Amino acid sequence: MIVTMKAGASREQIDQVIALIEECGYKAHPIFGSNLTVLAAVGDERGKSGVFERLGSQPGVGKVEYILPPYKLVCREISPGLEREPTVVKIRVRHKERVTERAIGDGRLSVIAGPCSVESLEQVMTCAREAKKYGATFLRGGAFKPRTSPYSFQGLAEDGLKILAEAREEYGLGVVTELMDIHNLDLVSKYTDIIQIGARNMQNFMLLRNLGDTDRPILLKRGMSSTIDELLMSAEYVVSCGNPNVILCERGIRTFETAYRNTLDLNAVPTLRAATHLPIIVDPSHGTGRWELVKPMSMAAVAAGADGLIIEIHPEPAKAFSDGQQSLKPKKFGELMDAVAAVASCVGKPPCWKD
């Protein structure tokens, strides 16, 4: 850590901070400038909780900063000049008594498609058939829905999970569904291949810790008001508790702009790429909230380097129980798949469905 003392900090205050740094197990390296004194606290930060905050509240301290990012495990850089290999999240999908291994982050583009909410067997079966026809390898669908209003459709719960599992059995697509409550972890794990943690739960730290105890791949969506660092710290919770299988998802953030539901922050893709070894996918459906923006923003996401996309589709968006305005009809989804395949090939990330 780097501790910058305030201009005018007394020698006594500086000595007290040096003493605290050493007491906490770091080596203090002071640099006495003509106006400011800077103290470098060198040492491994793991297991030393509270030091950052304690240093920040000492008399005479201006600011405290980390030298290396505080997310040690998801960080791309292990030490200056030494980088981790990209993480490839492997997903085992059971289908007709066989297990197929799929991967996200292996250098090919993958697509997850399906309805916002699981509404009926027929709706999910149609989505799965169409998603597969155009090249998606995963089926999404919410059985537990995080709705702003308690009076809105909340999802079909276990009945919805069973429908997703039935579609997997029929079409062999891996299932991605949201877990909202830790009490449903076993239930959701029973039916799903990737557990989605939605934007509203990105900082549900107890939930994240519990996911660290499973080996199930986790799709961690960025909170709508969360910074990149906060997203990475949330991923660090899961990984530090023992589960390395985390996929990050940019899904748009809240800004002053009201022309669309969210602002899809595509800066996040190359920024995350530089910061972490974890795979990165983009959700242009929630990121825009408008179906006609989904194809161009999917193409842009792939051009920016995304490893995958998660797209909402619906056989009849006008009748959808949730998010109909951002859901693509199957034919439009097919056009999107052709468009992103062309971009993916140009940026050296061949679409996995063209193998």
Residues that bind Mn ion (CB under 5 A): 116, 323
Per-residue CA distances from 288 to 37, 47, 254, 259 (Å): 47, 40, 11, 9
Smallest distance, ligand PEP to C-beta of residue 147, A: 9
User: What residue type is assigned to position 226 of the chain?
Assistant: S
- With CB under 5 to 8 Å by kind, the binding choice for 251 among ligand PEP, Mn ion, none is ligand PEP
Name the residue nearer to ligand PEP (CB basis): 95 or 200. Answer: 200
Smallest distance, ligand PEP to C-beta of residue 281, A: 11
Pair 141, 177: CB distance under 8 Å:
yes
Q: How many CA atoms lie within 13 A of 273 on its CB side?
A: 15
Tell me, rounded to whole angstroms, the distance of Cα 23 from its chain centroid. 37
Name the residue nearer to ligand PEP (CB basis): 20 or 320. Answer: 320
Order of strands, sheet of 27-32, starting from the edge strand that comes earlier in the sequence: 27-32, 37-42, 2-5, 61-65
- Residue nearest to ligand PEP as judged by C-beta position: 198
Q: Give the number of other CB atoms < 10 A from CB of residue 153.
A: 15
State the DSSP string of 97-117: TEEEEEEESSSSBEEEEE-SB
Smallest distance, ligand PEP to C-beta of residue 180, A: 9
- With CB under 5 to 8 Å by kind, the binding choice for 199 among ligand PEP, Mn ion, none is ligand PEP
Smallest distance, Mn ion to C-beta of residue 150, A: 17
- Residue nearest to Mn ion as judged by C-beta position: 116
Name the residue nearer to Mn ion (CB basis): 57 or 149. Answer: 149
- With CB under 5 to 8 Å by kind, the binding choice for 102 among ligand PEP, Mn ion, none is none
The angle at the Cα of 249, spanning 350 to 1, to the nearest 5 degrees, equals 115
Name the residue nearer to Mn ion (CB basis): 116 or 278. Answer: 116
Name the residue nearer to Mn ion (CB basis): 79 or 148. Answer: 148
- With CB under 5 to 8 Å by kind, the binding choice for 147 among ligand PEP, Mn ion, none is none
Question: Which residues of this chain interact with ligand PEP, rule CB under 6 A?
Answer: 116, 142, 146, 178, 198-200, 221, 251, 283, 286
Q: 61-65 and 2-5 as β-strands: parallel, antiparallel, unpaired?
A: antiparallel
- With CB under 5 to 8 Å by kind, the binding choice for 39 among Mn ion, ligand PEP, none is none
Using the structure block, give the residue that is written with the tokens 């800077």: 38
